[in-house]
Amino acid sequence: MSLRVGFVGVGGIARRHLREAKANPDVEMVAYCDVALDRAQQVAEEYGGAAYQDFVRMYDEQKPDAIIICTPPFAHGEIEEEACKRGIHFFVEKPVAVNMELANRVARAVADSGVIVQVGYMFRCSPPLIKLRELLQTHRPAMIQAHYYMPGLPSPPWWPKMELGGGQLIEQATHMLDLARFLAGDVKTVAGVTATIHDWTTVPADYRPEGLLKHSETFEIPDTTGLVMQCESGALGTLSCSLVPQVSWDVGFKVVAEGLLATISGASACWVGDEQADMPAPEDWATYVQKDFIDAVLAGRPACIPYDEGVKSLAVSMAGYESVKRGGVPVHVAELIG
């Protein structure tokens, strides 16, 4: 039996999900919705199915079994809630929201409806990282150290607006925070500090707005952030991230545990100590998270990254920002959930 699947948001990351769905023999792609109707029409012509600008109309006319949501962070909310009302299962790209009030509200709708949800934290589905997590059950984690440095600002106009994208800590570094939770367990407290170093409003000499940007007329987010976290297990964690313009991407992740030192590069991992290994991720590892969702819906089982996991990872980011508001004191993550 094929699963009737629709898409809400067909730009950006949706292109990868569209290709993956097309390649899955268990999927029938039936409809595509986007605020830019012409974009939805182009995708419908390419993949087959109907184009919409109104997702509620798409739900009611096409009656999909499941939807894949690839909208910008600020657009979440009604898309998920209306799906819950109709019993439509959904895959949602991270972050699940830009504030905890909305994330908690959708979480209640998900729980009440019983729909199957998968959040797109794809690193959790990488075999090397799953193996590392298994090792950390017998090698107690002591420190998670992550950094995410990018050489400029992404071009979507919502990115530099806090209320629309949530800044780098919510929109991007959430992958690192979720992976820290996946490996070392839930985060208890977060202390944060932020800064804005670059002068984003001054146009650099000979500036060409190509690729990552060095200039923004409406820059409302910090460009440099540091977090210190304490896990429920007692392990500590740090995250530093920055988008101050420089010359190169640099993303790193290390885990210190009793008898084990692990280094993560992308979705691959290596470790030394009582056990040693160098495990590269399969070439198609990024497809596993959508495939698990489709398989879960067909089998009627929970997906491997349910909605409440997305809420918990968002809460770590939000606790960092809340700590900044409170002068850098540690904030308990649990007070933001529910």
Name the β-bridge partners of 177: none
Confidence class of residue 300 from pLDDT cuts 50, 70 and 90?
A: very high
Over 28-46, what HEC string results? EEEEEECCCHHHHHHHHHH
Q: How confident is the model at residue 274, as a pLDDT? A: 85
**In this predicted model, what pLDDT tens digit does every residue of 123-133 receive, in sequence order?**
999 999 999 99
Q: What angle do CA 181, 184, 189 make, to 5 degrees?
A: 65
pLDDT of residue 10 exceeding 90:
yes
Confidence class of residue 275 from pLDDT cuts 50, 70 and 90?
A: confident
Average pLDDT over residues 301-324: 98
For residue 177, which phi and psi values (nearest 5 degrees)? -70, -40
Residue 118, helix vs strand vs coil: strand
All domains in the chain, ordered by first residue: 3-122+288-306 (3.40.50.720), 123-281+314-336 (3.30.360.10)
Confidence class of residue 211 from pLDDT cuts 50, 70 and 90?
A: confident
Confidence class of residue 210 from pLDDT cuts 50, 70 and 90?
A: confident
Average pLDDT over residues 300-311: 98
pLDDT of residue 204 exceeding 80:
no
Reported as type and span, the H/E element at residue 102 is: helix 100-113
Confidence class of residue 208 from pLDDT cuts 50, 70 and 90?
A: confident
Average pLDDT over residues 294-311: 98
Burial of 69 (0-12, 13-18, 19+ CB in 10 A): buried
pLDDT of residue 206 exceeding 80:
no
pLDDT of residue 264 exceeding 80:
yes
Average pLDDT over residues 278-290: 98
Q: How confident is the model at residue 202, as a pLDDT? A: 87
pLDDT of residue 209 exceeding 80:
no
**In this predicted model, what pLDDT tens digit does every residue of 129-155 receive, in sequence order?**
999 999 999 999 999 999 999 999 999
Q: How confident is the model at residue 203, as a pLDDT? A: 85
For residue 18, which phi and psi values (nearest 5 degrees)? -65, -45
Average pLDDT over residues 276-287: 97
**How far is Cα 17 from Cα 12, in angstroms, rounded to an integer?**
10
Is 139 within 8 Å of 260 (Cβ atoms)? yes
Average pLDDT over residues 51-65: 98
pLDDT of residue 227 exceeding 80:
yes
Residue 197, helix vs strand vs coil: coil
DSSP string, 218-287: S--S-SEEEEEEEETTS-EEEEEEE----S--EEEEEEEETTEEEEEETTEEEEEESS-EEEPPPTTGGG
Average pLDDT over residues 24-51: 98
Mean pLDDT of the chain: 96
pLDDT of residue 205 exceeding 90:
no
**How far is Cα 147 from Cα 133, in angstroms, rounded to an integer?**
19
**How far is Cα 108 from Cα 93, in angstroms, rounded to an integer?**
18
Tell me how far the alpha carbon of residue 263 is from its chain's centroid. 21
